[in-house]
Copies of this chain bind each other. A is one copy, B any other.
């Protein structure tokens, strides 16, 4: 059995990579990283270091052009500022609409591209790091459980039942993911979550806040450096 892991270089997908390797061995794991026009390339740098650390085959895909018409604040062409709020605050302020950090249909597109590659490379499973804290109202509609069931079904049926998607953490909190990663000795010092691309993580954006909490809740220190 071979597993294709969507690897962003953050905490969740890196822990998913470690779980895939534990399950089928590193020779049967392929990591796939997707460039989509992020404001910085720190995530890609981290994903390269992580794939090297684990010694797995690593593929990249550049989907930047698909998002060139989007004004999402995470993307290079956007003039919008990345909000300094936790996800919870952003969602509360969004009044039920997608938030400014919603990249249009990103998860659907990433999983569909993964399905094409998984079929060609003979992988039966696609792993990705979605978790229960992601499913936040309609702020990120492509993270909802309803969406996940539909896209997973589409990939299974549309691939001729050759490939299915597994989210090993889909009902887990980020705290639980970090706990599992500690057991698996994940090198979290190599991961990157911050929306900004400076030398150290900002500590203030939504993803920094949520990441820091997950380590604190496990009673250990996040091994990456923060500006403050």
Contacts and interface: CB of A to CB of B under 8 A. Distances in A.
A183 interface: no
Interface in A114-161: 115-117, 119-121, 138, 141-142, 144, 146-147, 150-151, 153-155, 157-161
A105 B109 contact: no
A39 to B, nearest CB: 17
A66 interface: yes
A147 B151 contact: no
Contact of A157 (B67, B115, B144, B157): B144
A106 B113 CA distance: 9
18 contacts: A66-B116, A66-B117, A67-B120, A69-B117, A97-B160, A105-B119, A107-B158, A109-B113, A109-B115, A109-B116, A111-B112, A112-B112, A112-B113, A141-B161, A142-B159, A150-B157, A150-B158, A154-B154
Contact of A70 (B98, B102, B106, B119): B119
